[in-house]
Amino acid sequence: MNASRSSLNKVSLALLPVLIALLFTFLVLLIAGANPLAAYGNILAGAFESPRKLADVAVACVPLLLCSAGGLITYAAGLWNIGIEGQMIAGALATTWLINALPLPSYGLLPLSVVAGLVGGALWGLLAGVLRTFGQVNEIFAGLGLNFVAAALTNYLIFGPWKPPDGATMSGTDPFPQAAWMPTLPQARLSPVALILALAAIGAVYVLLRGTHWGLKLKAIGLNPQAARRLGADTTRNMLLAFAVCGALAGLAGSLQATAVYRRLIPQISGGYGYLSLLVILLSGSRAEWVPVVVFFFSVIQVGSPRLELRLQLDSSLGGILQASVALFFLLTRGLRERFGEKKG
């Protein structure tokens, strides 16, 4: 009886921030002069109304899973890798460059594009890492600055050297040649390969952080870098490695967005998934086993929100409000529980 009560307790505690967030968004919608229930209904409909839409939810899960998996690694080491958004872009850029550079059709173009994504993201991540470890620039600013630089670089390439022969537009580059298209399910944008890679990534990170020496070293560095160094965990080396691995996973996400979803390079190739993954990490209490749940929840919102613009003339940023407010209330309710719950018991 007690065991089931405590697990019921846990579930209800997890749902509390969601409920409060829904309430909060309810109020925001009222302020904006919209019908809250209609808005919620539209978001759900947007995500679940057809098999194709369900597949879209899975599509959104891919970059979110990959970035969250990577972000968990840097978070374990005590780093706020906000640059994950730019690392995604870098992977997409590297992939696009590769596809443009290799003569087609090329056997193994797709595996190579994956490698390009990993390498591009890893390098961009290392850049932030180097600024942090050798330049003492806080990784928040290094990451953020590099995000803006990466976005500007993308725009430059899309409107400049990589623009379509007919003229540059906001739709991005010309579509990739078919050989560079990651195969997807019929009538859906979901690539099984991408999904498998994403799930494998989060699984691998789970094992990495729990059961390997490298994961333990990262944890030690995150908790007390000075003592960790003295005890033999080289802070610089391990942090740089963490940046590289996280960047690689983010780069892979960017690359897959380019080859599986959009099949071209678009200005918003990273789509805010990098920033969103940081929210996922916070909400999952930096536990890898909770990440898929949170990712699914966020992806539903991601896919459902654009419908608001179509049907209700509401800006789709309402989805972002939902996601961020869940994270906010998660932090606040956890704080309330920690500080005041112990007294009431």
Partner 1 sequence: MRVELCDIRKYFGPVRANDGISLRVESGTIHGLLGENGAGKTTLMKILSGYQPYDAGEILLDGSPMRFTSPAEAIQAGIGMLHQDPMDFPPLSVLDNFLLGRGKGLGQRRREGRKKLEELCQRFGFGLDPDAPVSSLTVGERQQLELVRLLSLGVRVIILDEPTTGISAPQKELLFGTLRALAQEGLAVIFVSHKLDEVEALCSRVTVLRQGKVAGEVAAPFSSDQLVQMMFNQRLKPSRRTDVPLGEVVLDLQDASVRTYRLNVEHMSLQVRSGEVIGLAGLEGSGQRLMMLACAGLERLAAGRLLIAGQDMTHEPYRRFLEAGVAFVPAARLEEGLIPGLNLSEHVALVSGTGGFFVHWKDAEARAQKMIADFNIVGHPGMLVQELSGGNQQRALLALLPEGLRLLILEHPTRGLDLESTRWIWNKLLQRRERGTAILFTSTDLEELIEYSDRIIVFSGGVMSAPVDAKRITVEELGFMIGGQRL
Partner 2 sequence: MTDSLAMVTIGSVIAASAPLVFASIGETLTERAGVVNLSLDGTILLTAMTGFAVAFSSGSLALGFLAAMAVGAVVAFIVAYGSIALGQNQTALGFVLTLLCADMSSFIGNPYVRKPGPSVPHMPIPGLVSIPFLGPVLFNQDAVVYLSYLVIIVSWLWVSRTQPGLRLRGVGERPEAAHARGVAVQRTRYLYTVLGGALVGLAGATYSLSVKLGWSHGHTTGIGWIALAIVIFGGWHPLRVAFGAYLFGALKSLGSLMQPAFPDVPTQVFQAAPFALMILALLLVSGDFTERLLFYLPPRGRRLFNALLRGTPPAALGKPFRPD
Q: Could you list the residues that contact partner 1 (CB under 8 A)?
A: 211-214, 216-217, 219-220, 223-224, 226-234
Instruction: Centre a 10 Å sphere on the Cβ of residue 283 and count the other Cβ atoms it contains.
Output: 24
Q: How far apart are CA 136 and CA 84, in angstroms?
A: 19
Of 278, 280, 300, 303, the one binding partner 2 (CB under 8 A) is 278
3-class state of residue 109 by DSSP: helix
Comparing CB distances to partner 2, the nearer of 35 and 155 is: 155
Residue 222 CB, nearest approach to partner 2 (Å)? 12
Q: Would you tell me how many other CB atoms lie within 10 Å of the CB of residue 175?
A: 14
Contact between residue 32 and residue 279 where contact means Cβ atoms under 8 Å apart: no
- The pair of three-digit structure tokens given for residue 86, joined into one six-digit string: 């730019």
Q: Does 325 bind partner 2 (CB under 8 A)?
A: yes
User: Six-digit token pair at 120?
Assistant: 């591009």
Torsion of CA 294, 300, 303, 308, to 10 degrees: -120
Nearer to partner 2, 21 or 59 (CB): 21
Distance in Å, CB of 211 to partner 1, minimum: 5
Q: How far is the CB of 217 from partner 1 (least distance, A)?
A: 7
Instruction: Return the exposure string of 213-249: e unless at least 16 CB atoms fall within 10 Å of the residue's CB, then b.
Output: ebbebbbbbbeebeebeeeebebeebbbbbbbbbbbb
Interface characters, 62-81, with partner 2 (x: CB under 8 A):
------------------x-
User: Of 113 and 147, which has the nearer Cβ to partner 2?
Assistant: 147
| Residue 212 touches which of partner 2, partner 1, none (Cβ within 5-8 Å per kind) | partner 1
- Which residues, 6+ apart, have CB-to-CB distance to 324 below 8 Å? 279
Contact footprint for partner 2 (CB under 8 A): 28, 31-32, 80, 82, 131, 134-138, 140-142, 144-146, 148-149, 151-153, 155-156, 159-160, 275, 278-279, 282, 314-315, 317-318, 320-321, 323-325, 327-328, 331-332, 334-336, 338-339
